Structure 1
Amino acid sequence: MITYYPYGRREITFALMLWLYFMPIGITAQTPHLHQNFEKYLLKAQQDSLSPITRERYLKIAYSAIRSTRADSVKYSRISKLVEVAEHLPDTSYFIRIAAEGMQLAKDLENPAHLGDAHWNYASYYLRGKEYGRSYEHYNRAYKYFTAAKNDYYSGKMLYNMAYIASETHDLTGAEILLFRCIKIFEQAKKPRQQYRCYNVLGNNADDMEEFDKSLHYYNKASQLIPSFKDSLYYKLENLNNQGVRFHKMRNYEKAESVFTTALTYVNELSRSPALHAMLLDNKAHCLVFLGKLDDVEQDMRFAMRLRDSLGETAGSIMSRLHLANYYGKIGDTLEGIAYAKEALEMASGKELTHHKLEALELLAALDRPNTIPYLRQHIEIDKSINARDRKLRNKFTAIRYETAKYIAENERLFRQRLWIIIVGVSISAISILLYLNKLQRSKNRELLFEREQQQYDEDMYLMALTQKTNLEKGRTEERQRISKELHDHIVSRLFTLRFQWQTAPVGGEKEMLSLNRKNLNLLEQLESEIRNLSHKLRSIVYTEEERFLDTLKTLLAEKSEIGRLTSVFECKNPADWQQLSYVSKINLQRIVEEILQNVVKHARAHKISILMYRELDTLYLNVTDDGKGFKYARVKRGLGMKNMEARSQKLNGTFSIQSTIGIGTTVMIRIPFKLNIQ
């Protein structure tokens, strides 16, 4: 018998939903923890005091902290940090594995900056192993990617490293070309320290070509950049050492000694830079040997050698031994000289320092006379192999530079092509937009023209209606005047005559008849008074309508002044003349004044406004003045309101003008001919 649990599936589903809901929270909570673990173990792996095996183990723990993280730029940055540390470990297997993973991630991200960095890691690794060809190739690829990523500074650094490799392989012309390209980039990027290094390498290359004056020129150029460095004193001493070595090679030993002595006076700085101290001390002692000043030379040379040995500077230790061998040869102790020369040869052979090896063989050939020929043969064989290797590498570098030049030229061609495409595209787009805007503007102009015509039509209809109303009102006014005159001049006069005759006529009779007579006379007098009053009222109505135009302007001024909180002044010097204007003229003037007042309230920021109306000869003047901010009339766009005011002025056969001064105010002047506009 099987027992079913109908709610079991629901519980499982609910638990699964809860797990899916809280899982992102757990991942988010672990992210800072993973970051802390990575930084913690990476820092431990960078400690040189630990054994290589321990450092590699810490690197692997740091990598495990980010292995399952999302493949993005952050993960690549952390892998790149691991690669930089792994590069310095004796066992290169871990470097190869982690560097390959970093390269693949950079390719997956398709990020040129990451790809440039990945090739940079490989280039540094091969440079440490003196695999100049492979290192140069990776630096060249890194340069291309950094150029594509628009990172000029890193592009310049890649060129500098390529120039260094070219110098090491005696491709001095190629190195010089690359270095001048570097200098241009670093000048634009404002990196004086990088420029200094470029000039130093140029000086070294010129020295190798025995162009000593040119070498000193480059060192002087480098010295001019030193004051901008934060640690300028160290670089000053380094530059003095370079100049001293050049003077020594020029056999100007006194000058060389003077430069080395000057540099050695900076005791405090040299105490913080023992490698530089040992170099200066050894070079000065070596210079004194050629000057024949042999007192205390051996002591300084041995001190410099011990100091270099303690610092683990192999190349410096070899040079100290070669200088000691030369010193003993000068004083006639050839056995001691040969011993130091052989020791230098053995150290140079172990570290594959071929140039130092050749110097040791030359010195042994000079000191060990019985074995001069074997040493010279060995020197020739090594020199041949170096020349063959360098010649092969120079050819390879030349091919790479040629391909790079083609790549740059193609990029420039594509850039120009893209630029022209963009320019043409932008031009077409701009023309299309302009055509569209022109069409839109023409459409708006047609709409505005239609609106204006419609407004003009409405206005004409309105004026026609006003004219009809005016004619009606004029008829009514004339009728009132006629009735008033008839009442006053005719009916009232006849009533007065009747009443006077009746009053003066002799009346006799009964008492009732006398009372009735007086009552009728009073009634007649009362009727006369009422008719006279009615006549006066009719005249008053006509007079009020004649005065309404000026009152309307005053009312407009008062209303707009109240809205804009302005002080207003209204002055009409000859109201009778203005009252004679036609009704249409009054309406047009009223609309113009209304538009002016509206503009003052909206735009002028004025405190006071005034209207002045007067007549000179056959011209009526209406001036509206404000004390607002003013404007430049020539630069103002003439809108519909201003065009309407000008049109109304033209209908009155008049003129419309504006005088405005910034910060003082504006005056609008309307002039209309008087006789052409009267009723």
Structure 2
Amino acid sequence: MAIWSGRLYLLIFIFLSFSLQAQIENKKKTFIVKKTPSVKLDPKVLAVYDLYNKGDEKKAYKKAHLLLKSKADNRTIASTNLLLAYYFNKRAVIDSSIYYTNQALKFNTVVNDSLKSRLSSLGYNLLAINYKKRGLLNESKKWHLKGIEASQKYNEKNLFYTHTHGLAQTYSELGDYNNALKLFKECLDYKDDNEIILGSCINIGDIYSRLKDFDNAGIFYKKGKILCEKTNNNQGRVIILLGLGENYQLQNKPQEALKMFEEAQAIADKSELNQLSIISRSSIGDSYISLKKYNDAKLVFSEALQKSVQFGLLQNQTHIYDELKKIAIHQEDYKTAYSFFEKSARMKDSINRLQKIKEINELEIKYKTAQKEKEIEVLRFENEAKKLTLANQEEAIKNMLLQKEISNKDNENTILAFQNSSNKKRNEISLLKKDQQLKMLEINQQKKTKLFTIIAFLILLLPITGLLFQYYKRFKVQHLLNIKQAEISSQKIDGILKDQELALIKASISGQDKERQRISQELHDSIGGNLAAIKLQVNHLSASDFSNIQKISLQLDETYQQVRSISHTLLPKKFSQNKFLEVLESYLKNISEASKIKVSFIPYPKKDVNELNEDIQIEIFKIIQELLTNTIKHAKASEVEIQLNFIENIVNLLFEDNGVGFDAEKKSKGIGFINLENRITKLNGSFLIDSKLKRGTIANIEIPAQPVKPKNKIKGIDLKNQLDELKSS
């Protein structure tokens, strides 16, 4: 039972890597989706995690390696390395899993402290699982404690219980069952994650089983089995079957135990659960030992040992060597038993730094005793042989004389054979000398040919070198001329662009002045005169003069129509004749063609944006004009992306370029920047700008939407309605 208990320790610690696997992968996805304002997510990372979570793990593995080879930021590299670490952890490839976990922690340089802590906590959990598989329990305990500290700092409840579960697992393996039970039962109170509850149920069942409290063990195994059926968790099924098999073993029911272990092995092999497959085979071997089927047991343990060595599972190897030693003892093969015990001891020394225990000495004594018994038997046999030799001494002497004669004949034959072989060797040596002379002649001829070839090559090389040197000098001069010409061309282009900008500004100012003059003249000549006439008539109006009231009404109608006409002329004609987005897209297309800047414009939804209040449409158009003007003048950008969205009564304008950028904290506000802020403030909106040197600029503008105003409606209508009411009274 002591050896079986040692196997169960392995069973307990491996469960954490599988029972929490789905939960950890969900945490990865949560980590990736959580954004910060200054860090953008690579959609390729989300796609790889989506593949992994859908079960297409091998395809996700290939795409993750391609992503690491591309030029990605640190956050992308850290997330991708963490996914590869979980991939290898699930397959019990411990060294690779530890390597990718350390890479993830190395590149975990996210600015947001909570995100950095979250990824670190996930990495600590994975390191703890890997070291636990190796059998380095104190190292595993250290990483779980670091993970608990990190999760408590930012109130990550799920990760806190993940590390609590892992710490309980470590206590269980160290034999501290009281603390282990306390922490596992604490994990049962966390209802947000079925995987943690499942792991806790199975581990509590295992502890009660080791304490021989089979009733309580059965209760918790049943709870775990129900959860496995709900979530279709093959890993949980295998571990529950192994636990039930151990219960039968402890109750001296090896046949029932063997049935459970064989079923567990079948599921583990089918699901590629390598370490659980090894433990299942070890359990089957233990059952064969109980049934005294030692040869079958050795065969199963040999398969398990091969897999353990393949995946570097030291603790499993130790257990298998102990079981093979036990079989050798049962078969009274103490030499083999001693060999297996030495291997087991070396494994234990490398894990726990312990000296060889008392059992080594006992097996060594048995082995030496068996050797001495064999030596005694040999001596007895030699004594009997001497007696027979003395009894037959005369016959032995005769045989010796015959042997001498035979040996003399053999010596003569040997001398003749040596003479023949020496003659053959002399002939061979003479032939070899002739061959050597021919080869020397060939070598001398080849040396002369090579010398002539080298001399001819040097004669050709000298003029070629001179020509190349002259070509290099001319190329260098031409290169300098090209650089100067490019500088002159650049200066000319900058001058032309500045002249074009000045011409545009002058034309814009001239148009504005003409429009203002026209509006002023209209107001003064038409509306002002009408209002003055109406005022005079009202002053001389009597209560009975109904005809004058009608005239005043007509004049008011005329004035209203003039005001309405002027208001329409103030609006851009393009907006009244075409849809807003069509005008804006045409403008952006013209700007792109004129400035050679690639402009990408994405509105959503188009219908709602076209139906926005005209005042908002005009202001958005002017804001985009101002942003584009600044980009053309200062940013030196080659691409601009504009997103215009209308969602939940909020108009969101996102403007981004790939230009040189600027330091937002040190840059003073210009007139264009102040005009933008004034326009947005007038609309009760918000304005955020994010820019850094050599990284481009992002402007994020949000404006609350106003109800769509009916077209052709102005304040004059209210005054007209009041006059109509006065007539009717």
* TM-score (normalised: structure 1): 0.39
* TM-score (normalised: structure 2): 0.37
